[in-house]
Amino acid sequence: MKNHKTIVLSNQEISPGYFRMRILAPEYNRLAKPGQFVMFRVQRSLLPLLRRPFGIFRAGFMPADCDTMPPKEFIEIIYKVVGSGTEIMQGLHYGDPIELLGPLGAGFDLSLTGGDSIMVGGGIGLVPLYMLAESIADPSRAEVLIGGRTRDDVITVTEFERLGVKTFVSTEDGSLGDEGLVTRVLESRLEKKPGARVFACGPMPMIRAVEKICRSRGVQLQVSLEELMACGVGACLGCVVKGEGHTNDNPSYLCTCKVGPVFHAGDLAWEDTVSADDCECGADR
């Protein structure tokens, strides 16, 4: 984990309200693991006061500007403009100074990517799944199920297809792909691949539904939780979730930013799991 003072390389709108930012990030291509995140702050601005957490979508190299310069190492994040912090971010351009703290958190257990793999993502939940898809040895045995409320919420389809991963798209209003919830597609795919391992990230209602489906079928599941984190290092206890076996007499609390954000589904107490999607206490991003 390092605190990097760095710059924006590009910042493009990829769908209405969704932006993809490329950031100069030395060493991240070696250090970043699928499922990890960074804490982001605009260096030239006092507001927002707290850093914002963003999953790492991709890490790579850009060609050098000239023969005497090394390639530029970068990461990409994808964000949706939903509050004061992301409103500031959408106005950033090449060369603007920012700070990154990371890479942070526990990523996916890559020992479980052998055989058939099904990735389920909704909206920004697709972000950590791309690096996971890159790590799968046999892309022909992997599928990604992409869900959204409308076609505007469906992002990065082309990127997954270029990896050779079979892609299924569904929207709640039927404006793109199949009409309905992405969890219905998951049920259909598990009928065809009952031994697949499932990896999911997205809104908590979707995650809960995925967990219920997988538990009823005895399917191994890992989830990346999109909790709102203030510190990113387990100090503030603002992103705790309840662990498996939690009771008032024997409490079990897990910091999403430290123990997660990726968890094996069996490590969480699902009947009590609460996230920022379910309450009004989340910080404004």
DSSP labels, 181-226: -HHHHHHHHHHH-TT-EEEEES-HHHHHHHHHHHHHHT--EEEE--
Instruction: Quickly count: other Cβ atoms within 10 Å of residue 54's Cβ.
Output: 24
Q: How far is CA 223 from CA 59, 74, 214, in A?
A: 21, 26, 11
Whether pTM > 0.95 for this model: the answer is no
Q: What is the pLDDT of residue 276?
A: 41
Among the listed residues 150, 103, 159, 99, the one whose alpha carbon sits nearest the alpha carbon of residue 129: 159
Q: What is the pLDDT of residue 2?
A: 77
Distance CA 54, CA 45 (A): 18
Structure tokens at 103: 């890479």
Distance CA 95, CA 30 (A): 23
139 by DSSP, 3-state: which? helix
Given CATH 3.40.50.720, say whether it is the number of domain 2-104.
no
Structure tokens at 115: 């055989």
pLDDT digits (tens, 9 = 90+) for 150-162: 999 999 999 999 9
Return the domain boundaries, the chain. 2-104
Q: What is the pLDDT of residue 145?
A: 98
Q: What is the pLDDT of residue 280?
A: 32
Distance CA 45, CA 73 (A): 25
- Helix (H) or strand (E) holding 97, with range, is strand 97-104
pLDDT digits (tens, 9 = 90+) for 31-58: 999 999 999 988 665 555 567 899 999 9
- Identify the segments of the chain with pLDDT beneath 50: 274-284
Long-range Cβ pairs for the range 43-50 (8 Å, 24+)? 43/5, 43/97, 43/98, 43/99, 44/96, 44/97, 45/88, 47/84, 47/88, 48/84, 48/85, 48/88, 48/284, 50/230, 50/283
Q: What is the pLDDT of residue 262?
A: 96
Structure tokens at 193: 């691949």
